[in-house]
Amino acid sequence: MTSSSSPSLSSQYLIPLILLALYIRICISFAPHSGQSKPPMFGDYEAQRHWQEITVNLPITDWYRNTTDNDLLYWGLDYPPLTALHSKVMGHVAETVSGSWVQLHGSRGEESYEHKIFMRVTVLVSELVHLTPLFLLLSPSTCPLSSLFLLAITPSQPLIDHGHFQYNSISLGLTLLAVLALKHGWVCTGSAMFSLALNYKQMSLYHALPFFFFILGPRYNSWSGVRELVKVGVTVVLTFALCWLPFVDTAGDVLTRMFPFNRGLFEDKVANFWCSISVVVKVREIFSRITLVRAALFFTLVSVLPSQLLLFRESTPHKFILALTNSALGFFLFSFHVHEKTILIPLATIVLLYNDKRTNGQTNGQNNELTVSLPVVWFTVIATFSMWPLLLKDGLYMMYIAGMGLYLTTVYILFKQQLYSTSVLLFMLSVLGCVILHLLEIYVEPTERYPHIYPTLNSLYSAGHFALFFCYFNYRQIVD
């Protein structure tokens, strides 16, 4: 990450910008949530509430097992131990406020106004784990205000956590804390933070290889480095042991729930390779599940290993961010059973390049009028667009329009002096394609033969962009 030539900003901007980001999230929280008033399963809001109910009322040995009191077909826990323990803490707080919110069997579908306030506040508090390291990593003392403002109004993650309803901010925040620690040379602290992220959401594995190679690269060939690697290994083992100690007797059940291969290659329309190719070749019908698991593993490793080997050879902070991005994008495009929301994982590290000239194709010493990286802005827009079918299903279309409108208006102000540059024109054409697909969905009814044509077009259009971004950020890691 490089500094901009723009005037330096004092850290006094940090708190106002975090408050702006929190304000936007509060506004989104007034919108509907996943599965609102849609029995019998409701949605992710009910899943999070149900996990509080289970963890508060049942012994820890039954949290991941199918029992008479824990029907795994009704939002069974499928995240690692820290998510379960976090649910238990929130469940006890909820029980203190109102026991009916987590009453075993009797609280299903709880959607009272007071309970919604409680649940929304828990997400808002957890957001500080995400926002604080994010702004610190972008160095408010040197980063231009334009970059920080775009960071504060980025719509993707708030729409999912505060609209759809999840706690992605915790795992993403722990990952960013790990990056922040490594940036300052606190290797064991960073390793512990990332281990906690892995134990909160298993999708943090998307970032695991870059952490491994970034820590290993400069340390494997000296005795002092080997001693430090031993300390890192002990830190990781102890962190995992502390997280898993209460679940020793049910570790097999936890792992089975964390990696549900029986759920198939993908579910809804997701903007990755497997869903895209299935439009032409019905791979789920042609190949067995085990064959698809092996194919997904092979394609994923082949796609991400080159960037990781580059990082091993040159372990710099800039290469680290690019390797994190390339690894997460490779996993999103090729791994088994990816959700559309998972695009937030590569986005979490891509935004760290907001103020990096090199991602604009500029080398050191060249003049660059842009105050933010266009590829990062572009990726943010497409990432949000790719989740449109999910946001529409949740009734979050007004928040999507408002969030994208604010973001694109700011981008226009920043880039209006470069309207006739090739890269900006391509960006505008890309956004125009998104707008055209939205207008078609509004005014042209899908045919009976192709009832899901618009989610399919959305996934194909987004997947094409993500594939190009994957190539571009790998290229940047090679040439920078």
Residue 414: the pLDDT is: 86
Same domain, 74 and 198: no
Q: Is residue 83 part of a domain?
A: yes
Q: How far is it, in rounded angstroms, from Cα 378 to Cα 431?
A: 9
Q: Give the end of a domain, one of 110, 137, 171.
A: 110
Mean pLDDT of 178-185: 94
For residue 446, being part of any structural domain is answered with yes
CA torsion sign for 404, 405, 407, 408 is positive
For residue 369 the two structure tokens come to 């009028």
* pLDDT band (50, 70, 90) for residue 366: very low
| Rounded Cα–Cα distance for residues 185 and 99 (Å) | 46
Three-class DSSP category at 381: helix
Question: In this structure, is residue 6 part of a structural domain?
Answer: no
Question: What 3 state SS string does 357-380 have?
Answer: HHHHCCCCCCCCCCCCCHHHHHHH
pLDDT band at 305 (very low <50, low <70, confident <90, very high): very high
Which candidate, 48, 28, 201, places its Cα nearest to that of 119? Answer: 48
For helices 168-183 and 187-198, the axis angle rounded to 10 degrees is 160
Cβ-contact 168, 344 below 8 angstroms: yes
- CA 364 from chain centre, in angstroms, equals 30
Domain check: are 60 and 121 in the same one? no
Q: Is 443 exposed, middle or buried (0-12, 13-18, 19+ CB in 10 A)?
A: exposed
In a domain, 1, yes or no: no
User: What is the predicted pLDDT for the residue at 371?
Assistant: 61
Q: Are 98 and 197 contained in the same domain?
A: no
Same domain, 29 and 76: no
pTM score of the predicted model: 0.93
Q: Please give the angle made by the CA atoms of 380, 357 and 128, to the nearest 5 degrees.
A: 45
Higher per-residue confidence, 14 vs 234: 234
Predicted local distance difference test score (pLDDT) of residue 372: 77
Portion of the chain with pLDDT greater than 90, in percent: 82
Residues 134-173 pLDDT 10s? 988 887 666 788 888 999 999 999 999 999 999 999 999 9
Contacts with 358 (C-beta within 8 Å, 6 or more apart), sequence order? 2, 318, 364, 476, 480
Q: In angstroms, rounded to a whole number, what is the distance separating the alpha carbons of residues 313 and 306?
A: 11
Q: Does one domain contain both 94 and 193?
A: no
Instruction: Give the integer Cα–Cα distance in Å for 361 and 423.
Output: 10
**Residue 451 CB coordination number (10 Å):** 11
Domain limit, last residue, from 110, 125, 156: 110
Q: How far apart are CA 203 and CA 328, in angstroms?
A: 9
Q: For residues 133 and 188, state if they share a domain.
A: yes
Answer yes or no: is 3 within a domain.
Answer: no
Q: Considering its fold, how many domains does the chain have in total?
A: 2
One-letter identity of residue 180: L
Of the candidates 79, 110, 141, which is a domain's last residue? 110
Q: What is the arithmetic mean of pLDDT over 313-340? A: 95
Which amino acid is located at 376 in the chain? V
Residues 94 and 117 placed together within one structural domain of the fold:
no
Rg for the chain, CA atoms, rounded: 22
- 2, part of any domain: no
**And the tokens for 285?**
């019908």
Q: pLDDT tens digits for 222-267?
A: 888 899 999 999 999 999 999 999 999 999 999 999 998 888 898 8
Q: Judge if 142 and 287 occupy the same domain.
A: yes
Domain match, 150 and 294 both? yes
| 74 shares its domain with 30 | no
CA distance 369 to 354: 14
* Pair 106, 198 in one domain: no
| CB-CB neighbours of 141 under 10 Å | 12
Instruction: Tell me the two tokens of residue 257.
Output: 């729930």
261-280 pLDDT, tens digit per residue, is: 888 898 888 999 999 999 99
Whether 5 is covered by a domain: the verdict is no
pLDDT at 361: 67
178 lies in which domain range?
A: 11-36+111-479
For 404-462, what is each residue's pLDDT tens digit?
999 999 999 988 888 888 899 999 999 999 999 999 999 999 999 999 999 999 999 99
Q: Is 282 within the bounds of a domain?
A: yes
248 and 100 within one domain: no
